[in-house]
Structure 1
């Protein structure tokens, strides 16, 4: 019995000496209650047991790095179900920004190919790709979190395509979601077209899928900024993620995006 128990403890990824200190040092996780912390750890155990981690170009995968990724990835599904991430099984970590070559379709329907240097990517064919330098600094409270961004895309893809309209829970109204997100997306684009300063990262204006992913970052990192800018969207995300970061995180002074940053 003692040997079996000892083996179980050794196999628990959260029994690593760096946890829970790694988590306690993440500003992103501040304010979690004891019950929430226990649920986060349960989600992390499931995540680490069901996701394969690969290091691209020989990048070393330490237990601490796995824990840092898992903690961020599991925060959005804290009050959801482990099956929310069941349709993908791999996390690939790169030592630096990586190049992706993907086709894209222009306004008239012509298909092009291009290369982009990326910090992260959620691929329709399975894995999440992350550049470690960006993933490592993501837990800071600045409205930018590549892990949450890509995980939001994965939740969005549960309806078959990433379009900013993930499957809603029972009790949520399609009309309410559509009204809030369409109005917010139109408002952000209108402000950017006018050259105005905005509270939200302009990358959110790329398309509805990026709008959902970027605003998910703000929801978990700068909830008060998002609530002030788009309270109806905040309410929809509160219902979707079944949690309220604004109730656990203190307001943070965050400068708006200036015109210089938009060019």
Structure 2
């Protein structure tokens, strides 16, 4: 009881000390009908977590880019959405988010069949380093305001969740989530096979085909769809949707999607596909 009271008092102190101005919070949420369509209690919970996130993490501009308080809050909202019920402790492995104005060059290293190491750079919209910060393109954060299955902040933060079992392998730590590792792997493997068959037979997939890059990307992409296009994910991959609902302990299908759709009518992605990120290992 004493430890609980100590933590409660510290949380209360941090929320009071770093309280977000109502005007800044409302300005950030004005661009995010998905958030305002959530129940009031969930919105309040998200606001508190966003406050603590910004108190604990540095959200920094890169390349002379300037970030407003509302922009920092917007990033914090998306970062906190996946852990709304899990808690911020799972983000202990990183302390900074670095934001570029647009896509940026990330270093890459590949080893060819002869064992020769080739170094270079790749243009990406986001990146999550195993032992370091999250990097984001602000242009892609803005693009994610339309809830259509793409959200670069959620994607990169899910990579951090993935690392909680010690490896970025598509399986986060499942302690306290009521899910056995064998069940997680079975459901995700079946979903992977379904998406892979879609790509092979139809030439397109029900989720972004970047998911097939690796199990880690599959978990991250499905999580994007879970929060921002849940009806489509449930229809296409019902077992995977149900698994993520249990893992995140959230029911995005219960949010007011009529209001969301009114704010952002459904549209088809263009032929260029999604702008995608990398996970730095």
Normalised by the length of structure 2, the TM-score is 0.82
Q: Contact 2:195/2:206 (CA < 8 Å) preserved in 1?
A: no
Counterpart CA distance in 1 for 2:149 and 2:158 is 14
Residue 215 of structure 2 is aligned to residue 183 of structure 1? no
- 1:46-125 correspondence to structure 2 within 5 Å: 46-104=52-110, 112-125=118-131
Residue matched to 1:3: none
Residue matched to 2:277: none
Q: Contact 1:55/1:94 (CA < 8 Å) preserved in 2?
A: yes
SS of the equivalent of 1:219 reads helix
Judge which range, 139-148 or 190-199, deviates more.
190-199
Measure how far apart 1:236 and its partner are: 1.0
Counterpart CA distance in 2 for 1:194 and 1:260 is 20
Give the gaps of 5 or more residues in structure 1.
1-7
Residue matched to 2:41: 35
When residues 142 and 181 of structure 1 are mapped into structure 2, their CA distance, relative to the original with a 3 A threshold, is same
Q: Contact 1:200/1:257 (CA < 8 Å) preserved in 2?
A: no
Counterpart CA distance in 1 for 2:26 and 2:82 is 19
Q: Contact 1:98/1:118 (CA < 8 Å) preserved in 2?
A: yes
Measure how far apart 1:31 and its partner are: 2.6
Q: Contact 1:199/1:255 (CA < 8 Å) preserved in 2?
A: no
Measure how far apart 1:133 and its partner are: 0.7
- 1:190-201 correspondence to structure 2 within 5 Å: 190-201=197-208
Counterpart CA distance in 2 for 1:112 and 1:120 is 22
**CA deviation string 1:218-253 (max 9, x = no partner):** 000000110011111111111111101012142768
Counterpart CA distance in 2 for 1:137 and 1:194 is 30
When residues 10 and 80 of structure 1 are mapped into structure 2, their CA distance, relative to the original with a 3 A threshold, is closer
Higher RCO, 1 or 2 (CA under 8 Å, sep at least 6)?
2
RMSD: 2.6
SS of the equivalent of 1:238 reads helix
Measure how far apart 1:155 and its partner are: 0.5
Counterpart CA distance in 1 for 2:25 and 2:267 is 33
Q: Contact 2:109/2:119 (CA < 8 Å) preserved in 1?
A: yes
Give the gaps of 5 or more residues in structure 2.
1-13, 275-281
Judge which range, 67-76 or 23-32, deviates more.
23-32
Q: Which of residues 137, 140, 149 in structure 1 aligns to 2:146?
A: 140
Residue 261 of structure 2 is aligned to residue 236 of structure 1? no
Matched residue count: 255
Normalised by the length of structure 1, the TM-score is 0.87
